[in-house]
Amino acid sequence: MEYLIEWITKIVLFLLLAMVADALLPSGVMKKYARLVLSILLLLIFLGPLLQILNIDPDRLVQQADLTMQQQLDAEVFDENVESKKNEILAGQDAYKLEQVTKALAAEIETPLKEEQNLVLVDAEMSFHQQPYSLESLDKLTLTVSRDELTQSVEDVEISIMEGETEEEKQDPELLKWVADYLDLNQEQIIIRWEDEDE
């Protein structure tokens, strides 16, 4: 009986304290939060006898809730780390795929270019609209070539006082057509650079 009187006294005192606090607080967002906290405390006071009967320590409940929240935060940080690592791996795989496609195309055209056009393939670069990397999604193919040292002959040198030529004007139309036909591409997708012009 004594425990019941003590419990009711706690409730009454807390209600009086809550009413005073509610009257003193200015209206606004702070008052809403204060009411929420006071409501939770009142609920704990009401559940006090039940918690004692079940031997539940309120401090332990709060610590357990805090631990659960911390574990959820750690799990979110872990998920973010996993996602960033996954993106790094995917970017590395994309670069590897691009390199493999470029090497395959260079290997395909290198021998015929040397045999039919007497040119040496120095470098091949590709850019694509989208994945997967294939000739269907090719945006630009840039081939850097040089004349075969064994068959190179002296050509007439023309000196012009005109301003520098643009990239399109430097293109060899016959070679461009040959590469486009051999690889079954549009001529607009192909850029041919001469190694001696890059120096």
Q: Are 95 and 127 spatial neighbours (Cβ–Cβ below 8 Å)?
A: no
Phi-psi domain of 154 (left: phi exceeds 0; alpha: psi -120 through 50; beta: other) = beta
Provide CATH code, domain 101-153+167-198. Answer: 3.30.300
pLDDT tens track for 167-187: 444 567 878 888 777 777 777
Q: Are 119 and 168 spatial neighbours (Cβ–Cβ below 8 Å)?
A: no
pLDDT tens track for 59-95: 777 788 888 888 888 888 888 888 888 888 887 777 7
The CA distance from 132 to 93, in Å, is: 12
Structure pTM? 0.42
pLDDT tens track for 153-165: 444 445 444 444 4
